Amino acid sequence: MNGWLLAAGITAFGVAAVHIVAGHRDVVRPLLSCGLAAEPRRVMHAVWHMVSVDLVLSAAALVWLALAGDASATGLMAWFVAAHFAAYTVAFLVVTLSAGWSKPLLRLPQWILLLPIAVLTAAGAA
């Protein structure tokens, strides 16, 4: 068993739960009731659900990788998942830092949840 990948998977399941519960309340409900045209509003709603699925499947993959016995067979997939969460982290940092807000790193704190998964996964892949 790979403890790093298991920790990453459990953390990823926690992040998925936060995304689904808090995201529905803080993002989806306001999005669906805003004045945005119907088509872009529904596209954004679908994208939110796609991210939900992505987070859950990535968490499941990390737990599976953690429990898989053959480390040589899991390395490439673990690096892919680490890169995946690192890219999500960078995306949130770029969007946040380019907004021109005061204290921007706390306005969209999702990167704080995503970065540990990337680091734990990279540690487990190494």
Give residue limits of the domains in the chain: 3-125
Question: Which pLDDT score is estimated for 53?
Answer: 98
- With cut-offs at 50, 70 and 90, classify the pLDDT of residue 80: very high
Asked if pLDDT for residue 87 goes beyond 80, the answer is yes
Question: Which pLDDT score is estimated for 77?
Answer: 93
**Alpha carbons 71 and 38: distance in angstroms, whole number:** 47
**Alpha carbons 84 and 14: distance in angstroms, whole number:** 17
For residue 39, which amino acid is it?
E
Residue 103 — left, alpha, or beta (φ > 0 → left; ψ -120 to 50 → alpha)?
left
For residue 76, which amino acid is it?
L
Q: pTM of the entire structure?
A: 0.90
CB-based burial of residue 2 (10 Å sphere; 0-12 exposed, 13-18 middle, 19+ buried)?
buried
- With cut-offs at 50, 70 and 90, classify the pLDDT of residue 74: confident
- With cut-offs at 50, 70 and 90, classify the pLDDT of residue 98: very high
Asked if pLDDT for residue 126 goes beyond 90, the answer is no
Question: Which pLDDT score is estimated for 62?
Answer: 97
Question: Which pLDDT score is estimated for 121?
Answer: 97
Cα dihedral sign for 31, 32, 35, 41? positive
For residue 31, which amino acid is it?
L
